[in-house]
Amino acid sequence: MIFFRQACVTIMLLFLTTHCSAQQSIDYKVHANIIYRFTKYIEWPGNKRVGDFVIGIVGDSPLYEELSALIVGKTVGDQRIVIKKFAAGAAAYNCSILFISQEESRSLKRIALMTYDLPVLLVTEDNGLAKKGSCINFIVVDDRLKLEINKNNILSRNMNVASELLKLAIIITNDNVIANTQKP
């Protein structure tokens, strides 16, 4: 188990240190792989460990196709992983992970309020969103893909985050950056 976790951390570290360029389009295969890995490093409460494990996507994003291809035959524990699209104005978001595309980031505040007491990991991809309700935010720093994690947002949703994942991220509070600016 320890070797598996170390291998996953190494793989995530390789993805997170991949060079990005402002001129290049986002590699959603990398995003998909990292989001899938979140299932190993985030702990959901017991009532979320039954039925399908749903990863939702808000907005028209290539991530839907990449995740659908990646998760074929994969599970989270005994749960089958299902990828589902949601409208930004949906009445409910019945999922464990919800990715909000950059084009729909203006909906984050409303979605965060709608799901504030639910164990839904909100994942975004636009600057500053970890301070505005997101749990994990993809950003590019010095041409490298990085994660911002707002641990308080995760904990307030009755989920836990593994220290291995926190070590790879820039830790954000609702006030400021508090830790982990080390380079891998």
Buried b (16+ CB within 10 A) or exposed e, 46-81: eebeeeebbbbbbbebbbbebbeebbeeeebeebeb
Task: State what percent of residues in the chain have pLDDT above 70.
Answer: 81
The pLDDT of residue 6 is 54
99 — phi, psi (to 5°)?
-90, 125
Domains contained in the chain, number:
1
Domain membership of residue 18 (yes or no) is yes
Domain that holds residue 75: 2-179
Domain membership of residue 48 (yes or no) is yes
CA distances (Å), origin 85, targets 10, 53, 71, 110, 137: 30, 14, 15, 17, 19
pLDDT exceeds cutoff 50 at 182:
no
pLDDT exceeds cutoff 50 at 177:
no
Mean pLDDT for 64-92 is 95
The structure tokens 């994003």 sit at 61
**pLDDT range class, residue 101, cuts 50, 70, 90:** very high
The pLDDT of residue 36 is 97
The pLDDT of residue 144 is 87
Domain membership of residue 53 (yes or no) is yes
| Residue 55, domain CATH | 3.40.50.2300
Q: Name, in order, each residue with C-beta under 8 angstroms of 139's C-beta and a sequence gap of 6 or more.
A: 125, 127, 145, 146, 147, 148, 170
Domain membership of residue 77 (yes or no) is yes
Domain membership of residue 68 (yes or no) is yes
Domain membership of residue 184 (yes or no) is no
pLDDT exceeds cutoff 70 at 181:
no
**How does pLDDT run across 22-61, given as a tens digit for each residue?**
434 688 999 999 999 999 999 999 888 899 999 999 999 9
Round the average pLDDT of the chain to a whole number and report it.
86
96 — phi, psi (to 5°)?
-100, -35
The pLDDT of residue 16 is 52
**pLDDT range class, residue 126, cuts 50, 70, 90:** very high
The whole-angstrom separation of Cα 136 and Cα 130 is: 6
